[in-house]
Amino acid sequence: MLIFKIFRTDEWQTLRTQGETTGAPIDIADGYIHFSTATQAAETAAKHFAGAEGLFLIAAETDALGEALEWEVSRGDALFPHLYRPLTLKDVVWAQPLPLVDGVHQFPAGLQEAAQ
């Protein structure tokens, strides 16, 4: 199953140049890297990245993340994937820009359909 992380441009560049990251400032503060499922990703973007440009959507495969990935109750009592180790560039299945159009982030075609 693919899970998703939204990075700002500088955070994505850090991962690309250093080969690993402990995440965004909120991830570092919380002690784990926040991910979302396909179903949760748009709400995460709207709640935490409203109006932000220069974002990237990163996909990672849950099976490859191993035991460091935990599913924990968060927003609305939903289970969210949290990674308790650095995210490496090898963990990234794909990454692409997450453009902002008319104030709404445009997710890849088929992402929401795949989640259902």
Supply the CATH number for residue 77's domain.
3.20.170.20
Q: Is residue 116 part of a domain?
A: no
Number of domains making up the chain: 1
Secondary structure class of 44 (helix, strand, coil): helix
Q: Is residue 115 part of a domain?
A: no
Q: Is residue 104 part of a domain?
A: no
Amino acid making up residue 11: E
Q: Is residue 16 part of a domain?
A: yes
Dist. CA 57–CA 15, nearest whole Å = 13
Q: Is residue 107 part of a domain?
A: no
Could you report the per-residue pLDDT of 15-55, keeping only the tens digit for each?
Answer: 999 999 999 999 999 999 999 999 999 999 999 999 999 99
pTM for the structure as a whole: 0.93
Q: Is residue 36 part of a domain?
A: yes
Return the number of other C-beta atoms located less than 10 Å from residue 24's C-beta: 19
Q: Which residue range(s) make up the domain with 24?
A: 2-99
**pLDDT-derived band of residue 97, with 50, 70 and 90 as boundaries?**
very high
More confident residue, 15 or 114: 15
∠ CA(51), CA(6), CA(63), 5° rounding?
Answer: 160
Burial class of residue 23, CB neighbours in 10 A (0-12, 13-18, 19+): buried
Q: Is residue 112 part of a domain?
A: no
Secondary structure class of 108 (helix, strand, coil): coil
**pLDDT-derived band of residue 113, with 50, 70 and 90 as boundaries?**
low
Give the mean pLDDT of the chain: 94
Q: Is residue 111 part of a domain?
A: no
